[in-house]
A and B are shown apart, each in its own frame.
Chain A
Amino acid sequence: MLNGISINYYLLLSTVLFIIGAVGVMARRNSIIIFMCIELMLNAVNLMLVSFSTLHNDPKGQVFVFFIMAVAASEVAVGLAILTMIYRNIKHIDTDLLTNLKN
């Protein structure tokens, strides 16, 4: 119990957030929205790590979340640079138009 809330509810919440992110990745064609859904999935995992860290009273889980945030920040910087590059080349960021490797 974490302040009177069972760990199961936190697990359920982060699972639902993760699935929403996964559905967003599958259902959208805009690259930026897909990227944002990946951020949502990362945050769901972060929430689960923090809840387990509080459950075990162990700060290592929160340090891991800190590192995940650093990795996510660098990922966003590089990813958005790649997206602007794609936009500059094909004037769109629709994932279905990226067919250069097809033929």
Chain B
Amino acid sequence: MILGYTITQWLFGILSFLAIMFALMVVFSRNPINSVLYLVLTFFCIAGHYLLLNAQFLAVVHIVVYSGAIMVLFLFVIMLMNLNEDTEPQRTWLNKIIAAVAGGMLLFVMVGSLKGAEQLQYKQWGSSQIGLIKNLGMVLFKDFLFPFEIASILLLAAMVGAIMIGKKEIK
């Protein structure tokens, strides 16, 4: 207990603060490469949250898929297009203010609707081992076998589609 809070609560607070700060930096930084790097940091913070929630397998998959694969793809595309601060298109101040006001009002409505969630205090029962790869794999390959196979077809279709869209015109 430090200052009346447990270690887990401190970790939650620090990770939340960092995640929100890095997410804001994604939106506000002018250089697209900085945006990508801040988004990677945000994803690491979210992986830390998964660890706090006892979802160890998802934390590892999240780091591998998002920070490892998707963000590298983004970085490659940005470097391919040679985007930097000078080529960055900017909205007018009026548009930015309108976006901020709309987002603020959306936040107001969403937080207002969360007031009813205060009764959601379920008592945790059983073991908290559901995030381990063994238990998750049992569910994935028993109850969700068909969606899993469909996901493989989706990935194949996406791969073929990306190659077809990305290649040069056939003469």
Contacts and interface: CB of A to CB of B under 8 A. Distances in A.
Is B truly associated with A?
Answer: yes
Given A19-B106, A57-B126, A73-B70, 8 more contacts: A5-B12, A8-B118, A33-B27, A47-B49, A53-B130, A67-B144, A71-B151, A81-B165
A17 B95 CA distance: 21
A12 B36 contact: no
Q: Is the interface of A mostly helix, strand, loop or mixed?
A: helix
A4 B144 contact: no
A96 B89 contact: yes
A13 B154 contact: no
A19 B55 CA distance: 24
Interface of B: 6, 8-9, 12, 16, 19-20, 23-24, 26-27, 32, 35-36, 39, 42-43, 46, 49-50, 52-55, 57-58, 61-62, 65-66, 69-70, 73-74, 77-78, 80-81, 83, 87-91, 95-96, 98-100, 102-103, 106-107, 110-111, 114, 117-118, 120-122, 124-126, 128, 130-131, 135-136, 139-140, 143-144, 147, 151, 154-155, 157-159, 161-163, 165-166
A27 B39 contact: no
A23 B74 CA distance: 20
Q: Is the interface of B mostly helix, strand, loop or mixed?
A: helix
Nearest to B80: A84
Interface string A33-46: 10111011001001
A58 to B, nearest CB: 7
Interface of A: 1-13, 15-24, 26-30, 32-33, 35-37, 39-40, 43, 46-47, 50-51, 53-60, 62-63, 65-67, 69-78, 80-85, 87, 92-94, 96
